[in-house]
Amino acid sequence: MDLRKIKVGDTKTIAALYAESPSDYLVAFRSSRRGPPKIVIAGDRTLKDSTKFQIWVLKPKALQRYFRTNEPPVGSPVWNIMGRLGGLSDVQLKATLDSLANSKEFKKYITKKTLSRPKTFKYFTTDLHLYVGIWDQFFGEKGVDEADEEIVKVGNAKLLFPGNIRPANKAKLIDLVKTVYSILKKAGVGETMTGDVRFSKITAQAVGMYYPKTQDVRIKYVAKKDKATVNTLLHEFGHKWMYEFMPQSKQSLLKDKWKELRLSGAKSAQDEQELRIQEIVDDYAKRIKPYVEEAKRVLKTGDKLTYLNKRKRSIVGDWYISYFKGDSVFLKRGHESIKLKASGLLRKELWKSENPSMQKIIEEGSKISEDLEITRTPKHAMKPTAEWFPTEYAKKSPSEWFAEMFAFSTTGRLEGEPEKFFQSLVS
């Protein structure tokens, strides 16, 4: 796997990424025991004391492909790089990486940079998407920031961007964080906008992450400025608040309350929504039933029905009734057969019959399905709630509960007892 594809939240991959350090001046990161390293970093003194670092970023897969057809002599430095580092001294390794980075042939497989300590830290954790915890383990301090025009501050937070980000995208993301900050300030919890906020790659499903151990927030750098993203960031800064600003005594209160609510089976606002949707579905089933029964009486085995939705190319066209069973209908054409909910036939935008009495049933049944409107409100658009759990996710743990309350309360969507309880935690 390409290092740039390492998912920040993917602990399995990170666990596979291990460092192998022949000496204290040099560290190499790999994602598997075999094959070339992905990054090699060398310091000018021990890694924890160095002020400057040389960094080689390799494309191990492409290198492996290259060497499959152009086998290097066994035991040569290049050959050793393809295997483990064990066969090379530090000096040999650096020399080999340098010669690769400088050669015409290999330039595209390896890039070399020399950076100061704070710039290496930023490059390592932001451009290369690696955990701050991994930095802490091998390199120690982040180093003191020199005057740097790249640094953007919002509140007390320092925003870190990958070097290759497009300026327009960067401006959008700064704007996003400013929006979040103004919401936090208005809600009286602006202090939580502090520490490092880095924009880098992140697991596909998540837009934001907070790491309690290293106290940093990570945001997917393709994140859009929409309500859902703002909501996610509020959630992450809620985690930050809990871990960095909430006294132990209040954290215990939060945990006890969460346990008590979970044991008592408290519902979430989303549960209420699902209950409402279930009612609508049950009601529809009751109202459509007489039309389904009528259709069963009218349709005989071999009767033709035509499916009209051209976008479903595998289904579109003529079908013939095979039989009804319970709520289902089985249709056939040639060797193909499909099973549907019988009520699904009663939609005039989907099905047509040449039999006038069946066509009439389809049209009358359609009137009922037209009334059927099921919409699920996304989390960020949910109305103010006095439910203890604003969302299903809040049931997961005390800290997720707090983060969800935080996102809801700061946007004025938490009411009643839960809002009072939340305020007592942040005041």
Minimum CB–partner distance for residue 219 and Zn ion (Å): 13
Other C-beta atoms lying within 10 Å of the C-beta of residue 394 = 26
Please give the Cα distance from 318 to 169 (Å, whole number). 50
> Closest by alpha carbon to 385, among 358, 360, 362, 419?
419
Q: What is the DSSP letter of 389?
A: B
Outline where DSSP puts E strands in 12-155. Answer: 18-23, 26-30, 39-43, 52-58, 110-116, 152-154
Minimum CB–partner distance for residue 407 and Zn ion (Å): 10
> Closest by alpha carbon to 139, among 160, 118, 158, 114?
118
The answer to the question of residue 234 lying near Zn ion (CB under 5 A) is: no
The answer to the question of residue 223 lying near Zn ion (CB under 5 A) is: no
Binding-site size, Zn ion (CB under 5 A) = 2
**172 alpha-carbon distance from chain centroid:** 19
- Closer residue to Zn ion in complex, CB, 11/309: 11
Choices 51-59, 375-383, 402-410, 416-424; region in contact with Zn ion by CB under 5 A:
402-410
Minimum CB–partner distance for residue 185 and Zn ion (Å): 22
From residue 312 to residue 341, the character string flagging contacts with Zn ion as x (rule: CB under 5 A) and all else as - is ------------------------------
Minimum CB–partner distance for residue 269 and Zn ion (Å): 17
Q: Which residue is nearest to Zn ion (CB)?
A: 403
101-106 CB contacts, 8 Å cutoff, 24+ apart: 101/56, 106/63
Give the helix/strand (H/E) hosting 291.
helix 269-298
Choices 91-99, 199-207, 279-287, 397-405; region in contact with Zn ion by CB under 5 A:
397-405
- Closer residue to Zn ion in complex, CB, 369/391: 391
Choices 48-56, 118-126, 169-177, 400-408; region in contact with Zn ion by CB under 5 A:
400-408
Minimum CB–partner distance for residue 257 and Zn ion (Å): 18
Among 299, 403, 405, 426, binds Zn ion (CB under 5 A): 403
- Closer residue to Zn ion in complex, CB, 331/405: 405
- Closer residue to Zn ion in complex, CB, 19/187: 187
Query: Is 408 within 8 Å of 231 (Cβ atoms)?
Result: no
- Closer residue to Zn ion in complex, CB, 387/400: 400
- Closer residue to Zn ion in complex, CB, 331/403: 403
Minimum CB–partner distance for residue 238 and Zn ion (Å): 8
Choices 122-130, 218-226, 340-348, 394-402; region in contact with Zn ion by CB under 5 A:
394-402
140-145 CB contacts, 8 Å cutoff, 24+ apart: 140/47, 140/48, 141/48, 141/117, 142/117, 142/118, 143/51, 143/116, 143/117, 143/118, 144/118, 145/118
Give the helix/strand (H/E) hosting 183.
helix 167-186
Q: Is 292 helix (H, G, I), strand (E, B) or coil?
A: helix
Measured torsion, CA atoms of residues 68, 73, 76, 80, in degrees rounded to the nearest 10 = 30
Return the residues of window 145-174 that contact Zn ion according to CB under 5 A.
Answer: none
Q: What is the DSSP letter of 127?
A: I
Q: Name the site residues for Zn ion (rule: CB under 5 A).
A: 400, 403
